[in-house]
């Protein structure tokens, strides 16, 4: 029975992490270079993933927004983890700049690519539709919290206008916003467009995952330290458990619980590296956290989903 639960969970998480691993292998064999990785990353971020998220967002019924308890659970968990992680960083005596990276790594998951891929693999197009709303809201929330935390920890001065420009200019958010508009206006996408986007998502998601794998540098694994262990603990244990706990308390079960868990248990977002470097932070530490988090999440997400399946929560 336990083996069956594990195999079921592995069927959900396995393909996603195999694509990530294939990217690592391709880079090690010199099948891809920096230029190709950069192009593929930009394509995924600026066109591919926004298209996938647009399609998912266009299929959501937003009249039930306030009743989307799994979304509210995700938002609440994110805010709670960010606050508690800030207190933990102070309690542990982390250096100010490192504290900002720890807090960001604790709450910020790669829900826009890895999370979406996991949800699509678990529930198909229905998973994309369910994930679109929390990805939209939580991507905005992630950016706002990250800017505030990193600017404070690195002595920056980016104001409200800068935060708004960063959020409104995010291609993922633009794609989601257009999908929401289509849904709210009651527009019906032509069948050709629906089939085309649905088919494209089966190509775009693997490419995005391979790109992430190819961009990881395993050399940073030697730089692991106290803050790294703490960040991984919070990202892959505290954050998912908080979301699941809140979800259970609010009556979230089935596919919605599955989507909530898969989004919150995803590895640290690659965008965290860009934001750390932008404020003059420790880019090596940021890369180290992303690499380790990506490796660890393959195990923790699989085991976590298996446990939720065994408990009848997903």
* pLDDT of res. 72: 93
* pLDDT of res. 222: 55
CA–CA separation, 284 vs 102, rounded Å? 13
Look at 84-93, 211-220, 238-247, 254-263 and tell me which has the smallest mean pLDDT: 211-220
* pLDDT of res. 9: 63
* pLDDT of res. 195: 78
- The DSSP line for 145-177 is HHHHHHHHHTT----HHHHHHHHHT-HHHHHHH
Given a cut of 90, whether residue 103 has pLDDT beyond it is yes
Q: Per mean pLDDT, which of 17-21, 46-50, 237-241 is the most reliable? A: 237-241
* pLDDT of res. 12: 64
* pLDDT of res. 65: 66
* pLDDT of res. 116: 86
Confidence category of residue 16, pLDDT binned at 50, 70, 90: confident
Going by C-alpha positions, the residue among 203, 230, 266, 268 that lies closest to residue 92 is 230
Look at 12-16, 216-220, 274-278 and tell me which has the smallest mean pLDDT: 216-220
CA 126 to chain centroid? 18
State what percent of residues in the chain have pLDDT above 90: 25
Q: What integer best gives the mean pLDDT of the chain?
A: 81
Confidence category of residue 221, pLDDT binned at 50, 70, 90: low
The more confidently predicted of residues 294 and 280 is 294
CA–CA separation, 104 vs 4, rounded Å? 35
CA distances from 101 to 12, 50, 94, 112, 231 (A): 30, 26, 10, 19, 9
Q: Per mean pLDDT, which of 188-192, 203-207, 247-251 is the most reliable? A: 247-251
* pLDDT of res. 259: 95
Look at 10-19, 116-125, 217-226 and tell me which has the smallest mean pLDDT: 217-226
Average pLDDT rounded to a whole number, residues 5-10: 64
- Do 267 and 16 form a contact (C-beta atoms < 8 A)? no
Task: Give the model confidence (pLDDT) of 52-68 as tens digits.
Answer: 778 877 877 777 666 78
Given a cut of 60, whether residue 1 has pLDDT beyond it is no
The more confidently predicted of residues 17 and 262 is 262
Given a cut of 80, whether residue 211 has pLDDT beyond it is no
* pLDDT of res. 203: 75
In terms of C-beta density within 10 A (0-12 exposed, 13-18 middle, 19 or more buried), how is residue 108 classed?
buried
């Amino acid at each position: 029975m336990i083996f069956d639960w594990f195999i079921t969970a592995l069927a959900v998480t396995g393909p996603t992490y195999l694509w990530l691993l294939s990217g690592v292998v391709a880079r090690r064999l010199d099948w891809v270079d920096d230029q190709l990785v950069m192009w593929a990353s930009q394509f995924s971020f600026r066109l591919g993933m926004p298209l996938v998220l647009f399609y998912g967002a266009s299929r959501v019924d937003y009249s039930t927004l306030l009743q989307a308890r799994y979304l509210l659970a995700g938002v609440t968990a994110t805010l709670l983890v960010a606050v508690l992680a800030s207190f933990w960083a102070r309690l542990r005596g982390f250096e100010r700049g490192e504290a900002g990276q720890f807090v960001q790594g604790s709450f910020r998951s790669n829900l826009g690519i890895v999370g979406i891929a996991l949800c699509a693999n678990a529930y198909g197009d229905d998973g994309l539709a369910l994930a679109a709303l929390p990805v939209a809201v939580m991507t905005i929330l992630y950016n706002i919290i990250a800017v505030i935390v990193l600017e404070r920890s690195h002595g920056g001065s980016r104001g409200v206008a800068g935060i708004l420009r960063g959020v409104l200019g995010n291609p993922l958010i633009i794609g989601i916003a257009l999908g929401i508009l289509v849904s709210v206006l009651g527009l019906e996408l032509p069948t050709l467009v629906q089939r085309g986007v649905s088919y494209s998502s089966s190509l775009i998601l693997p490419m995005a995952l391979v790109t992430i794998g190819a961009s990881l540098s395993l050399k940073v694994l030697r730089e692991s330290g106290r803050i790294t262990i703490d960040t991984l603990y919070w990202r892959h244990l505290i954050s998912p458990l908080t979301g699941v706990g809140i979800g259970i308390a609010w009556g979230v079960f089935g596919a919605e619980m599955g989507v909530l868990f898969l989004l919150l248990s995803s590895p640290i977002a690659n965008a965290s590296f860009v934001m750390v470097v932008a404020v003059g932070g420790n880019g090596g530490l940021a890369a180290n956290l992303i690499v380790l988090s990506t490796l660890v999440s393959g195990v923790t997400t699989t085991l976590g989903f298996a446990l939720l399946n065994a408990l009848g929560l997903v």
